[in-house]
Chains A and B, each alone.
Chain A
Amino acid sequence: MKAYLGIDVGSVSTNIVVQDEAGKIHAGIYLRTMGRPIDALLTGMREVGACIPPDLEIAGAGATGSGRYLAGVMIDADVIKNEITAHAVAASMLVPDVQTVLEIGGQDSKIIIMRNGIVTDFAMNTVCAAGTGSFLDQQASRLNIPITDFGELAHSSGAPVRIAGRCTVFAESDMIHKQQMGHRLPDIINGLCEALVRNYLNNVGKGKEILSPVVFQGGVAANKGIKAAFERCLNLTVIVPEYHNIMGAIGVAQLAKEEVQKTGCTKFKGFHITGLSYRTGSFECGGCPNACEIAEIYEGDRVIGRWGARCQRWDIIN
C-alpha cells in the first residue's frame, strides 16, 4: 500500500506522520525538538520505521516547519513547504468547510483565514513570542506543574484572575504578584489562558474576520483552558481536531502526495538514513563585509546543505 511521509520540524516539537492514500494515519509521532532538530528527526524516523506495517511503501515525503530545509535535505523531500500552507491544507482535509484556523505552536502563533478552501489572509506573530507555547511551558515549569495538567487546572477554576497579557515579562510579574496575594493557582492559570487569548486576538488576529467553523491546532490546542478561553472570547464553537498537534506534518504529507502525482516518483532516501551520521557546523564567511554566518550539514563526510549565505558562493553544486 502506498503512503506518504510528512515531517514538521518546529522550534519545540518535531512531528512525523505516515498517511495512506485514503488519508488514514498509520503513524503520528510528536517529539520534543529540544534544540537538537537532527537528533529529534532521526529518533522520530527510527520510531516510525519500526511501527509502520512492512507492506507500506513510502511513495512521497514532504517537510515543513522552521527546520524544513534541514529536514528536506536529510531525507530528500519531494516538497518543502512553509507551515502556513501546510496547516491550511491539513485543516481543510479534516474540516472541509473551515473558515478560520487558529494555530499556536512553540515560537509561532498564526491565524489563517480561509474562504471556499482558499487561504485569503493570514498573520503570524511578529517580533514577540508572548502568547505562544514556549511561554506556557516556561510558566508550567516555574510552577512545577506538568504542562499536560495546565488545561485541566484552568478548567477547574471558578473565577479567572486578570493577568497582563501584552508581554511575557509583564505577565510573569503579574502572576507572581497575584500568587503572593493568595489567589488560587487554578484561577491564576485560567487568567493566564485568558490573557494569552486576548493577546493573540488583539495582536495576531487584529482586524481579521473570524467566522465559524473555527479550527484550533498546534501544540497549545491540547490545552483545554486556552480552548475554553477562545470560545468565551469569540462566542463560537472551536474545533480541536484529533491530530491537532501534528497538523503541519499531515498537511505536508498531503502536499507530497500531490507533488509525486506530478513528478511520477519520489526522491525520498528511505528509512536507512537513521543509520547515517549527520553533523552540522557553522562558520563566518570572510568573502565580503557582509560576514554571513554560514551553517552547513554533513551526511558522513559530504556536505548536503548550506544556509545563511547572501550570495551564490556557498551553493552546493551536485
Chain B
Amino acid sequence: MPRVTFPHMGESYRTFKMLMNDLGNEVVLPPRPSKRTLDHGVRHAPEFACFPFKILMGTYVETCLLGAEIIVTSGGVGPCRAGQYGQLHKKILLDLGYPVDIIVFEPPRLHPIDFLRNIQRLNPNRMSYRAVWDCIKRAWQKLIALDETEKITHVVRPREIVTGSTTRIYRKVLEWIDRSHSAKEIEEAHSSAVEAIKSVEQDPERKVLKVGLVGEIYVLLEPASNLEIEETLGNLGVEVERSMFLTGWTRENTFSETHETISVKDAAMPYIPLCIGGHGMESVGHTVVYAKRGFDGVIQLAPFTCIPEIVARTILTSVSKEHGIPVLTFFLDEQTGKAGMSTRLEAFVDLMKRKKWQDELPEHNAVKKGQ
C-alpha cells in the first residue's frame, strides 16, 4: 500500500485521511504545525520563500521521516508563486534524500485529464470510477460537516459564559465527525456536532462585534500559522466570519464559480480589475462586501513577502476610507511571540467598540473629558 500524506490545513486532514484510506492508501497523518515543523521548514526552505512554503516544507520533512512516499497537494492559478511550490518542495526533498513523489492537483476545471490521471495514481486497487466518485462524495460531505461546525464556533465563542467552553466542546465533536464513515454516519455526526456547540451556555444579551477575516488561504485556514487569531478574537468578544473555507475554495475551483465569488469579484472590480494572483482580489472584494453588510471591521492576514496581499493591503487603505470600515493587517512569519498581535487586536477591538457604542464606554469618556 502506498504511504500517502498531505499538508495540514486546519481540521481538513480528517477528510483527506478518510478519502485516502478509502481509496486503498496508507495515510501518514501530517502533525499539527509546531516549533519542530518550523525548524525543519526554515532550515530547508529558501530564506525569501513565504511562510506557507516553510510550514509545508517542515510538514513534508516530518511526514517523510515517518515514511511517507507520496505527497498530495494542490497547485494554483494566476501569478502567485505558490503554484510552483509542489515542484520546488519535491526538488528539495529529493536533494535531502527522501525518495518521495508529489502529486499536485490543479483545478480540474482547467486540467480535467490531469485530474483523472492523478486520481488513478492514488487508486492502487483500481476501483471503478463510480466507486471512486462515491468516496469523493463522502469526503466532500465530511469536509462540509467540518467547515459548518467550525463556522458555528465562531458565532458561539464570543457569547460563551465560561471562557474556553466552546473550544472544549469543539475538540470533542471533531472526534465524532472524525469517526463517522458512511454518508448516514457523517450526517448524524454533523447534526449532533452542531447541536452540541449550540448548546454551550451563552449570554444572549452580550454585545458582540463582528469582524471579517480576509487574506491568503493557508494562513487563514491553519490556526497554527496565525497564532489562533479566531479563538483570540472570540475570547475578546468578537464574532468572526472568515472569507474562506476549503469547501468554498474547492467549489469555485472545481466546478464553476459560485454566486458569492462572483459578487466578491464585482465588489473588487473598481479597485483591482484583474486577477493578481493568490487571493489579493478576494481580500479587497470581501472587505467591500463586509463593509456593505455592516461589519465592524476587517482583519487581513498575509504571509510576510506575499505580493498579492501586499497589493491588496495598499488598496485596502482606500477601501477602508471610502466604505468607513476599519482594517487591520497582520503579516505573519515565523515569530511565535503573541504579544505584538494581542496588543494590536486589543487596540483594534477598543477602536471598533468606541466607533459602535460611542457614549457607553468609560475609556471614551476618559478621552472626551479632556476636551
Contacts and interface: CB of A to CB of B under 8 A. Distances in A.
Interface of A: 66, 81-85, 88-89, 92-94, 96-97, 114, 117-122, 124, 126-127, 206-207, 254-255, 257-259, 261-262, 288-291, 293, 308, 310-312
A255 B34 contact: no
Contact of A117 (B331, B335, B367): B367
B344 interface: yes
Contacts of B163: 312
Contacts of B344: 82, 84, 124
Contact of A121 (B31, B326, B363): B326
A289 B31 contact: yes
B117 to A, nearest CB: 35
B354 interface: yes
A208 to B, nearest CB: 8
B28 to A, nearest CB: 15
A124 B350 CA distance: 15
B94 interface: no
B304 interface: yes
Contact of B347 (A84, A96, A288, A289): A84
The 7 A-B pairs with the shortest beta carbon distances in the complex, nearest first, are: A207-B317, A84-B347, A82-B346, A92-B370, A96-B370, A82-B343, A258-B362
A89 B366 CA distance: 7
A293 B339 CA distance: 13
Nearest to A262: B362
Contacts of B125: none
Contacts of A122: 347-348, 351
A126 B362 CA distance: 29
B44 interface: no
B263 interface: no
12 contacts: A81-B363, A82-B343, A82-B350, A88-B367, A206-B314, A207-B321, A255-B363, A258-B365, A289-B32, A310-B228, A311-B167, A312-B163
B137 interface: no
Interface string B333-345: 1011011101110
Contacts of B304: 127
B191 interface: no
B318 A289 contact: no
Contacts of B314: 206-207
Contacts of A291: 34-36
Contact of A254 (B34, B330, B346, B366): B366
B345 to A, nearest CB: 9
Nearest to B304: A127
B354 A84 contact: no
Contacts, number: 105
Nearest to A208: B317
A111 to B, nearest CB: 12
Interface of B is mostly: helix
Contact of B363 (A96, A120, A258): A258
A151 B336 CA distance: 35
Given A82-B346, A289-B34, A93 B370 contact: yes
A118 B364 contact: yes
A207 B366 CA distance: 28
Interface of B: 31-32, 34-36, 163-164, 167, 224, 228, 304, 314, 317-318, 320-321, 326, 329-331, 333, 335-336, 338-340, 342-344, 346-348, 350-351, 354-355, 358, 362-368, 370-371
Contact of B370 (A81, A117, A119, A259): A117
A120 B343 contact: no
Contacts of A114: 367
A121 B316 CA distance: 13
A97 B371 CA distance: 6
A261 B363 CA distance: 12
Contacts of B320: 121
Contacts of B342: 82
Q: Which of A84, A94, A259 has the most CB of B within 10 A?
A: A84
Nearest to B318: A207
Nearest to A209: B321
A308 B363 CA distance: 28
A96 B371 contact: yes
A118 B353 CA distance: 11
Contacts of A207: 314, 317-318, 321
A206 B355 CA distance: 22
Contact of B358 (A94, A118, A258, A259): A118
B351 A121 contact: yes
A84 B335 CA distance: 21
B135 to A, nearest CB: 28
Contacts of A96: 370-371
Nearest to A97: B371
B34 A117 contact: no
A290 to B, nearest CB: 6
B329 to A, nearest CB: 8
Contacts of B224: 290
Given A92-B367, A290-B32, A85 B350 contact: yes
A316 to B, nearest CB: 13
B360 to A, nearest CB: 12
Contacts of A82: 342-344, 346-347, 350
Contacts of A308: 338
A40 B269 CA distance: 53
A117 B368 contact: yes
Contacts of A88: 367
Contacts of B370: 92-94, 96, 117
A295 B370 CA distance: 39
